[in-house]
C-alpha cells in the first residue's frame, strides 16, 4: 500500500483539559486502526500542529492502552496564539501534509472548534500557497484538496449546544458533590454557613446541578440572576428560617459568573460578607477551583467519550471533501451529529444574551430540562412549604420502597416529600416496603424529616423484596382505608413493579386499590421496563469502575488476568457498561450466555496476548451469565491453561456495588422523576378509575407507561425488559477491546448511530 492509499487521520485535544478526553483518544485510535486508517496524535493541541516534528506521532493499538482511567489528556493540550494567525495555520497545514493527514478530530471548547472550522475553510488557499512556495508538491496537494473535520466537545462547563453533556462535565459534578458533601458535614458540626464557588463563567450548569444534587440552600447562576433587587433580604430570610426549622448548616453555591439583574458580578466573597453581616454568624468561602477539573473520569465520561470517539471515526471514514463539518454529541441519550458551526454559534448566543442582560432568552436557549431543574430547586430549598392555595386538593400520599437497595432512593423520597408538602398533601412514609403496608407501619414525614437525604446512600425508609399475595392483600386494603391513603408512590425495583401490578390487577376485588399508583425505577441492575436507566445504576457503575481501577493497579508487577464478577441479576447492563468504561477485553452477559467454544477462543486470545508481552488481562462476568460456567470455573480454567504464562485471580465485587452515596446523575434524575410522580398522583387522584403507571427516561424524555402494559414489556422468565437499548453497544465494546487486528482478520463493524448515555 502506498502512502496515498491509506486514509490518515489526526487527533488533538485543545483548550482546557477535561476528564474523559483520554477515553475519546483511545476510542479514536483503536476505531481508526480497526477501519484500516493510519492515525496520528497531535501533541499539545494546535501548538503541536504548528510545531510539527515529533509532536505529530503515529499511534499504535497498544499506545493507548491503560489511559482511560487517567484524568486530563495524555496527548497534552495548550492554548496557541500562533494558530490564531494565518502564518501559523500555514505552518500547521504543511506539517499535516508531511504525513498526508487530511482528516482531523478536534476535542476542545468553542474556541478550538472555531479554529478548526477556520482552518478548514482556509485549507485550499493554504495549500495553493504551500505549492507556490515549493513546500508541498502539486501531487500531494491534489490528493488532499479539502480538510475534513469532526469536533467533540471537551469542557467541564457543559456550555455547548449540540450536546446534552460535554466531555468532563459529569466528572466535574462528581468532584463538586463530593466536596459539598464533605463541607456540609463540617458545616453542620459548627452550625456554619458556607459559600462555595464553582466553575462556570457563562454557564450555571455545574452550580445548578451541584446544588440540586447536594441539597444546597441557595444557588446563584449567570442565566438566572435574582429576580428582585432585594434578593439579599430574601436569601437571608430563607436561611434564617431554615435555621429556625432545625437545619444545622447552610450552603450557598455561587457560579463564578454569577451576576445581578444589572449585570454586576456577585462574587463569593461578597455573598460571604453579606451573610456574616446580616445573619450575624460565621460564614466561610470555599473556591473549588481546579479540583473540579482533576481526577479520574467518572464512568459516564469514560463510556460517553468512548462512544463519541468511535462515532467520530465512523463519520470521518465516510467523509468526502464536500462534507459539512460536524459536531458529534449526545442528545436524548443517543449519539447525534449536528453542523459544527451552528452549535458554536448557538452556544455563543447564550453568552451574548447574558451579556445583554436578556436573561429570559439565556435560560430559554439552555433548554427545558435546565429550567425544570431550576424550578425544582427553587421549591426544594424552601425551608417550609408554601401556604395552601384555596381550592387546592390536599391528598394523603404514601411513599415506600420495594426491591433491593439502590443509591438514590433517599434522594427520591426527599424530593417527593417536599414537593408533595409544597402542594398541600400529607406525605406518609411506609417502613420496609410492602411489609410495612401490610403491618400498617407508617408515619407522616414533615419537611425537615428528610433533611440531608439528598446525598445519603441506602434507604432510610427500609426496603424489602416482599411481593404481597393472598391474605396480604386484605391487610394492605385495610391499611389503605384506615390511613385514608389516596395515592401510592413506589420507589424500587423488580419486585416493586410486580407488587404494583398485582394491586392494580386486583382493583375489582379490592376497591381500596382503586387509587393512583406510580412506580419510580430504582435498581442498580437497570432491569426495569419503561426506562432506559434506573436510579442507582450510575452509582453502581461508578463503584465498579473505581474498584476495577484499583484491581488493575494491584497487578502492575506480574502477568495476571482478573475475572471480575459484577451484579445485575439477569440483566447485563452493569457488566457491559463497566467493560466499556474499563477496557475489559471480554464481557460475559446473561443475554448471551457462555459457550465452551467462547471460553476456548477467549483463552487462546489471552495466551496470544500474554505471549506478545501483555501484562494484564481483564474479563468481566455478570453474576448470572451462566449457571455452569461460573466465575470460579472460568478462573480455574484460565489458571490451569495459562500455566507459567500468566496467573488468574477472581474478584467477586458483591455488595459494595449497591452501597455508597448516590452519584450526581442518580441524585438529579431521582429528583426529576420524583417531581413528575408527585404531579402524576396529584392529577390522577379522585378520578373514577385511577391510573397505575411506571415512570421512566426514554430517549432523554420523561415518559409514563401504564401498569396494564407491564406484562407485555418484560421478559418475565429473565426478569428484564424485552427491549434493552444498550445491547447495540456490544459490538463497539468488542472492537475497542480486542488486541490489534492482524491483516486478513475481519469482524463485523458496528454502527454507532443509536448509542447512548452509558
Tell me: does residue 115 bind ligand ATP (CB under 6 A). yes
Cβ-based nearer residue to ligand ATP, 72 or 429: 72
Cβ-based nearer residue to ligand ATP, 116 or 685: 116
Contacting ligand ATP (CB under 6 A), which of 10, 16, 458, 590? 16
Which whole-number Å values give the CA distances from 202 to 109, 264, 293, 493, 743, in the listed order?
Answer: 13, 14, 17, 39, 49
Cβ-based nearer residue to Mg ion, 71 or 115: 115
Compute, in degrees rounded to 10, the torsion defined by CA atoms 197, 204, 418, 511. Answer: -150
Contacting ligand ATP (CB under 6 A), which of 62, 114, 554, 706? 114
Cβ-based nearer residue to ligand ATP, 166 or 622: 166
CA pseudo-torsion sign 742, 743, 748, 749: positive
Contacting Mg ion (CB under 5 A), which of 65, 66, 111, 385? 111
Which of these, 505, 526, 523, 522, lies nearest to 514 by C-alpha position? 505
Q: Which does 692 bind (CB under 5 to 8 A by kind): ligand ATP, Mg ion, none?
A: none
Tell me: does residue 292 bind ligand ATP (CB under 6 A). no
By DSSP bridging, strand 250-255 and strand 218-220 are parallel
How far is the C-alpha of 77 from the C-alpha of 46, rounded, in Å?
Answer: 8
The total of other beta-carbon atoms located within 10 Å of residue 601's CB is 12
Tell me: does residue 110 bind ligand ATP (CB under 6 A). yes
| Stretch of residues binding Mg ion (CB under 5 A), selected from 108-116, 200-208, 294-302, 328-336 | 108-116
- Catalytic residue numbers, as ranges: 157
Q: Which three cell numbers stand for residue 131?
A: 505549492
The residue assigned the cell 447495540 is 728
Minimum Å gap between C-beta 238 and ligand ATP is 33
| Stretch of residues binding ligand ATP (CB under 6 A), selected from 105-113, 226-234, 328-336, 354-362 | 105-113
How far is the C-alpha of 282 from the C-alpha of 194, rounded, in Å?
Answer: 9
Q: Closest residue to ligand ATP, Cβ-based?
A: 111
| Stretch of residues binding Mg ion (CB under 5 A), selected from 1-9, 102-110, 207-215, 367-375 | 102-110
Contacting ligand ATP (CB under 6 A), which of 79, 348, 507, 718? 79
Q: Which three cell numbers stand for residue 639?
A: 489458571
SS3 category, 25: helix
Q: Closest residue to Mg ion, Cβ-based?
A: 109
Contacting ligand ATP (CB under 6 A), which of 52, 65, 111, 226? 111
Minimum Å gap between C-beta 288 and ligand ATP is 17
Q: What is the number of residues in the chain? A: 758
Contacting ligand ATP (CB under 6 A), which of 10, 11, 13, 14? 14
Minimum Å gap between C-beta 158 and Mg ion is 12
Assess contact for 97 and 140: CB atoms under 8 A: yes
Contacting Mg ion (CB under 5 A), which of 51, 110, 460, 684? 110
Tell me: does residue 118 bind ligand ATP (CB under 6 A). yes
| Stretch of residues binding Mg ion (CB under 5 A), selected from 54-62, 110-118, 287-295, 412-420 | 110-118
| Stretch of residues binding ligand ATP (CB under 6 A), selected from 112-120, 411-419, 581-589, 649-657 | 112-120
Which of these, 210, 105, 110, 221, lies nearest to 160 by C-alpha position? 110
Q: Where are the alpha helices (DSSP H) in 62-101?
A: 86-98
Q: Which does 584 bind (CB under 5 to 8 A by kind): Mg ion, ligand ATP, none?
A: none
Cβ-based nearer residue to ligand ATP, 203 or 402: 203
The total of other beta-carbon atoms located within 10 Å of residue 271's CB is 24
| Stretch of residues binding Mg ion (CB under 5 A), selected from 109-117, 194-202, 502-510, 568-576 | 109-117
Cβ-based nearer residue to Mg ion, 111 or 124: 111
Tell me: does residue 383 bind ligand ATP (CB under 6 A). no
Q: What is the DSSP letter of 615?
A: -
Report how far apart the first and last C-alpha atoms of the chain are (Å, whole number). 38
Contacting ligand ATP (CB under 6 A), which of 15, 222, 297, 521? 15
| Stretch of residues binding ligand ATP (CB under 6 A), selected from 109-117, 453-461, 597-605, 747-755 | 109-117
Q: Reading across the β-sheet that carries 647-652, which strands appear in turn?
A: 586-588, 616-622, 560-566, 647-652
Tell me: does residue 382 bind ligand ATP (CB under 6 A). no
- The number of CA neighbours under 13 Å toward the Cβ of 523 is 31
By DSSP bridging, strand 250-255 and strand 714-715 are unpaired
Contacting ligand ATP (CB under 6 A), which of 13, 112, 463, 543? 112
Q: Which three cell numbers stand for residue 20?
A: 474523559
Rounded to 5 degrees, φ, ψ at 363 are: -75, -30
Q: Across-strand partners of 443?
A: 429
Tell me: does residue 48 bind ligand ATP (CB under 6 A). no
The residue assigned the cell 469542557 is 155
Q: Which three cell numbers stand for residue 455?
A: 446525598
State the number of binding residues for Mg ion (CB under 5 A): 3
Contacting Mg ion (CB under 5 A), which of 109, 151, 429, 529? 109
Q: Reading across the β-sheet that carries 103-108, which strands appear in turn?
A: 56-58, 38-42, 8-13, 103-108, 148-153, 326-331, 334-339
How far is the C-alpha of 134 from the C-alpha of 672, rounded, in Å?
Answer: 61
Q: Which does 46 bind (CB under 5 to 8 A by kind): ligand ATP, Mg ion, none?
A: ligand ATP
Contacting ligand ATP (CB under 6 A), which of 83, 504, 573, 726? 83
Minimum Å gap between C-beta 190 and ligand ATP is 36
The total of other beta-carbon atoms located within 10 Å of residue 54's CB is 8
CA pseudo-torsion sign 489, 495, 499, 500: positive
Assess contact for 736 and 58: CB atoms under 8 A: no
Minimum Å gap between C-beta 198 and ligand ATP is 15
Tell me: does residue 448 bind ligand ATP (CB under 6 A). no
Q: Which does 108 bind (CB under 5 to 8 A by kind): ligand ATP, Mg ion, none?
A: ligand ATP
Q: What is the DSSP string of 120-152?
A: HHHHHHHHHHHHHTTSS-HHHHHH--S-EEEEE
Tell me: does residue 115 bind Mg ion (CB under 5 A). no
Cβ-based nearer residue to ligand ATP, 121 or 234: 121
The residue assigned the cell 448471551 is 592
Minimum Å gap between C-beta 74 and ligand ATP is 18
Rounded to 5 degrees, φ, ψ at 201 are: -75, -45
Minimum Å gap between C-beta 77 and ligand ATP is 8
Minimum Å gap between C-beta 122 and ligand ATP is 10
Tell me: does residue 109 bind ligand ATP (CB under 6 A). yes
Tell me: does residue 329 bind Mg ion (CB under 5 A). no
How far is the C-alpha of 576 from the C-alpha of 585, rounded, in Å?
Answer: 11
Minimum Å gap between C-beta 13 and ligand ATP is 10
State the number of binding residues for ligand ATP (CB under 6 A): 17
x/- map, 133-172, ligand ATP, by CB under 6 A? ----------------------x-----------------
Q: Which does 682 bind (CB under 5 to 8 A by kind): Mg ion, ligand ATP, none?
A: none
Which of these, 332, 303, 314, lies nearest to 587 by C-alpha position? 303
The vertex-456 CA angle with 669 and 450, nearest 5°, equals 90
Q: By CB under 6 A, name the binding residues for ligand ATP.
A: 14-16, 46, 79-80, 83-84, 108-112, 114-115, 118, 155
Q: By CB under 5 A, name the binding residues for Mg ion.
A: 109-111
Amino acid at each position: 500500500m502506498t502512502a496515498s492509499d491509506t486514509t490518515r487521520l489526526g487527533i488533538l485535544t485543545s483548550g482546557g483539559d477535561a476528564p474523559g478526553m483520554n477515553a475519546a483518544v483511545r476510542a479514536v485510535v483503536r476505531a481508526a486502526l480497526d477501519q484500516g486508517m493510519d492515525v496520528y496524535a497531535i501533541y499539545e493541541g494546535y501548538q503541536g500542529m504548528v510545531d510539527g516534528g515529533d509532536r505529530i506521532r503515529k499511534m499504535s493499538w497498544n499506545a493507548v492502552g491503560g489511559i482511560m482511567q487517567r484524568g486530563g489528556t495524555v496527548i497534552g493540550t495548550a492554548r496557541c496564539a500562533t494558530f490564531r494567525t494565518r502564518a501559523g495555520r500555514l505552518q500547521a497545514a504543511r506539517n499535516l501534509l508531511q504525513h498526508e493527514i487530511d482528516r482531523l478530530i478536534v476535542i476542545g471548547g468553542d474556541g478550538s472548534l472555531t479554529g478548526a472550522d477556520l482552518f478548514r475553510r482556509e485549507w485550499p488557499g493554504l495549500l495553493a500557497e504551500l505549492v507556490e512556495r515549493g513546500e508541498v508538491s502539486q501531487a500531494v496537494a491534489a490528493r488532499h484538496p479539502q480538510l475534513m473535520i469532526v469536533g467533540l466537545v471537551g469542557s467541564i462547563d457543559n456550555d455547548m449546544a449540540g450536546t446534552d453533556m460535554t466531555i468532563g462535565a459529569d466528572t466535574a459534578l462528581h468532584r463538586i458533590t463530593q466536596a459539598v458533601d464533605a463541607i456540609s458535614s463540617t458545616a453542620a458540626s459548627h452550625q456554619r454557613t458556607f459559600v462555595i464557588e464553582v466553575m462556570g463563567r457563562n454557564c450555571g450548569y455545574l452550580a445548578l446541578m451541584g446544588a440540586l444534587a447536594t441539597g444546597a440552600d441557595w444557588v446563584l447562576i449567570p442565566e438566572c440572576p435574582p429576580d428582585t433587587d432585594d434578593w439579599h433580604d430574601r436569601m437571608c430570610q430563607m436561611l434564617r428560617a431554615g435555621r429556625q426549622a432545625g437545619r444545622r448548616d447552610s450552603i450557598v453555591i455561587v457560579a463564578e459568573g454569577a451576576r445581578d439583574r444589572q449585570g454586576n458580578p456577585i462574587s463569593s466573597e461578597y455573598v460571604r460578607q453579606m451573610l456574616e453581616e446580616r445573619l450575624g454568624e460565621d460564614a466561610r468561602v470555599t473556591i473549588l477551583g481546579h479540583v473540579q477539573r482533576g481526577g479520574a473520569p467518572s464512568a459516564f465520561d469514560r463510556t460517553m467519550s468512548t462512544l463519541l470517539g468511535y462515532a467520530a471515526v465512523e463519520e470521518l471514514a465516510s467523509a468526502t471533501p464536500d462534507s459539512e463539518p460536524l459536531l458529534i454529541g449526545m442528545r436524548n441519550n443517543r449519539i447525534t451529529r449536528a453542523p459544527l458551526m451552528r452549535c458554536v454559534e448557538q452556544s455563543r448566543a447564550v453568552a451574548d444574551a447574558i451579556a445583554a442582560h436578556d436573561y429570559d432568552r439565556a435560560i430559554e436557549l439552555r433548554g427545558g430540562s435546565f429550567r425544570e431543574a431550576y424550578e425544582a430547586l427553587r421549591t426544594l430549598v424552601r425551608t417550609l412549604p408554601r401556604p395552601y392555595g384555596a381550592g387546592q386538593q390536599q391528598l394523603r400520599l404514601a411513599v415506600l420502597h420495594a426491591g433491593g437497595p439502590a443509591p438514590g432512593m433517599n434522594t427520591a423520597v426527599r424530593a417527593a416529600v417536599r414537593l408533595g408538602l409544597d402542594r398541600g398533601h400529607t406525605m406518609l412514609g411506609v417502613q420496609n416496603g410492602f411489609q410495612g403496608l401490610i403491618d400498617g407501619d407508617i408515619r407522616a414525614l414533615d419537611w425537615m424529616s428528610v433533611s440531608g437525604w439528598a446525598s445519603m446512600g441506602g434507604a432510610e425508609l427500609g426496603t424489602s423484596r416482599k411481593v404481597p399475595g393472598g391474605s396480604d392483600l386484605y391487610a394492605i386494603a385495610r391499611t389503605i382505608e384506615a390511613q385514608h391513603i389516596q395515592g401510592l408512590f413506589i420507589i424500587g425495583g423488580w419486585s416493586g413493579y410486580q407488587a404494583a401490578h398485582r394491586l392494580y390487577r386486583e382493583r375489582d376485588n379490592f376497591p381500596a386499590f382503586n387509587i393512583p399508583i406510580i412506580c419510580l425505577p430504582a435498581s442498580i441492575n437497570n432491569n426495569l421496563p419503561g426506562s432506559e436507566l434506573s436510579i442507582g445504576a450510575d452509582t453502581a457503575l461508578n463503584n465498579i469502575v473505581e474498584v476495577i481501577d484499583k484491581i488493575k493497579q494491584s497487578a502492575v508487577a506480574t502477568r495476571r488476568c482478573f475475572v471480575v464478577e459484577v451484579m445485575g441479576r439477569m440483566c447485563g447492563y452493569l457488566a457491559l457498561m463497566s467493560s466499556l468504561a474499563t477496557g475489559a477485553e471480554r464481557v460475559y452477559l446473561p443475554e448471551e450466555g457462555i459457550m465452551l467454544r467462547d471460553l476456548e477462543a477467549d483463552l487462546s486470545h489471552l495466551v496470544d496476548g500474554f505471549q506478545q508481552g501483555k501484562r494484564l488481562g481483564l474479563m468481566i462476568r455478570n453474576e448470572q451469565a451462566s449457571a455452569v460456567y461460573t466465575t470460579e470455573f472460568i478462573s480455574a480454567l484460565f489458571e490451569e491453561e495459562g500455566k507459567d504464562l500468566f496467573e488468574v485471580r477472581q474478584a467477586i465485587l458483591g455488595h459494595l456495588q449497591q452501597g455508597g452515596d448516590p452519584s450526581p446523575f442518580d441524585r438529579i434524575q431521582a429528583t426529576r422523576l420524583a417531581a413528575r410522580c408527585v404531579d402524576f398522583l396529584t392529577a390522577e387522584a379522585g378520578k373514577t378509575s385511577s391510573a397505575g403507571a411506571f415512570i421512566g427516561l426514554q430517549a432523554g424524555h420523561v415518559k409514563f407507561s401504564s401498569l396494564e402494559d407491564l406484562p407485555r414489556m418484560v421478559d418475565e422468565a429473565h426478569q428484564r425488559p424485552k427491549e434493552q437499548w444498550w445491547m447495540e453497544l456490544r459490538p463497539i465494546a468488542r472492537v475497542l477491546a480486542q488486541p490489534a487486528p492482524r491483516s486478513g482478520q475481519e469482524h463485523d463493524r458496528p454502527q454507532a448511530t443509536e448509542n447512548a448515555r452509558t
